[in-house]
Amino acid sequence: MFSRFFIDRPIFAMVISAFIIIAGLAAMRALPVAQYPEISPPVVMVTAIYPGASAEVLEQTVAAPLENQINGVENMLYMASTSTSNGVLQISVTFGIGADPDKAALDVNNRVKQAEAKLPLEVRRQGVTVEKSSSSFLQVIAFRSPDGRFDDIYTSNYVTMNVLDRLKRVPGTTGVQIFGAKDYAMRIWLKPDRLTQLGLATSDVVRAIQEQNAQFAPGKIGQPPVSNGQQLVYTITSKGRLSDVAEFENIVIRSDPDGSILRLRDVATVELGSRDYEFRGRVNGQAATLVGIFLQPDTNALEVAENVNVVMDELAARFPDGLEHRVVYDTTRFVKVSIREVVKTLVEAMVLVFLVVFLFLQNWRATLIPTLAVPVSLIGTFAGLHMLGYSINTLTLFGMVLAIGIVVDDAIVVLENVERIMHEEGKGAYEAAIQAMREVTGPVIAIVLVLIAVFVPIAFVGGLAGELYRQFAVSISIAVGISGVVALTLTPALCVMILRNEHKSPARFFQWFNRFFERVTHRYTTGVAWMLKRATVGVLLFLGMVFITAGLWKFTPGSLVPDED
The per-residue pLDDT for range 30-78, each reduced to its tens digit, is 888 877 777 778 889 999 999 888 889 999 999 999 999 999 999 999 9
Q: Which pLDDT does position 503 carry in this prediction?
A: 61
User: Taking a C-beta distance cutoff of 8 angstroms, is the pair 489, 16 a contact?
Assistant: yes
The rounded distance, in Å, linking the Cα atoms of 143 and 152 is 9
- CB proximity list for 186: less than 8 A, separation 6 or greater: 242, 245, 248, 270, 271, 272
Angle between helices 394-425 and 332-361 (to 10 degrees): 10
Closest by Cα among 96, 12, 84 to 53: 84
> Could you say which residues of the chain have pLDDT below 70?
1, 134-135, 298, 502-504, 560-565
In terms of Cβ atoms closer than 10 Å to its own Cβ (0-12, 13-18, 19+), residue 263 is middle
In three-state secondary structure terms, 520 is helix
Domains of the chain plus CATH, in order, are 2-34+335-504 (1.20.1640.10), 41-134 (3.30.70.1430), 185-274 (3.30.2090.10)
Helices 394-425 & 463-498, crossing angle to 10 degrees?
30
pLDDT at residue 563 in the model = 66
pLDDT of residue 93: 93
Q: Are 63 and 93 in contact (CB under 8 A)?
A: no
From the list 407, 337, 409, 358, the residue with the least C-alpha distance to 379 is: 407
Cα dihedral 557, 558, 564, 565, rounded to 10, equals: -40
526 burial via Cβ count (<10 Å: 0-12, 13-18, 19+): exposed
- CA dihedral (132, 287, 308, 157) positive or negative: positive
How many helices (H) and strands (E) are present in the chain, helices listed first? 20, 16
Which residues, 6 or more positions from 303, have their beta carbon under 8 angstroms from its beta carbon?
A: 33, 172
Sequence-separated (6 or more) residues with CB below 8 Å from residue 409: 447
149 sits in the region (left: phi over 0; alpha: psi -120 to 50; else beta) called alpha
Listed in sequence order, the residues at least 6 apart from 334 whose beta carbon sits closer than 8 Å to its beta carbon are: 35
**Quick check: helix, strand or coil at residue 365?**
helix
Contacts of 447 (CB under 8 A, 6+ apart): 409, 410, 413, 484
The DSSP secondary-structure symbol of 558 reads -
Element (H, E) at 326: strand 324-330
Report the C-alpha gap between 127 and 130 in whole angstroms.
10
* Amino acid 562: pLDDT: 66
Say what the pLDDT of residue 477 is: 93
Closest by CA position to 34, among listed 400, 296, 388, 327: 296
Cα separation, 527 vs 378, in Å, equals: 38
Asked if residue 491 lies in contact with residue 414, where contact means CB atoms within 8 angstroms, the answer is yes
Q: Are 4 and 431 in contact (CB under 8 A)?
A: no
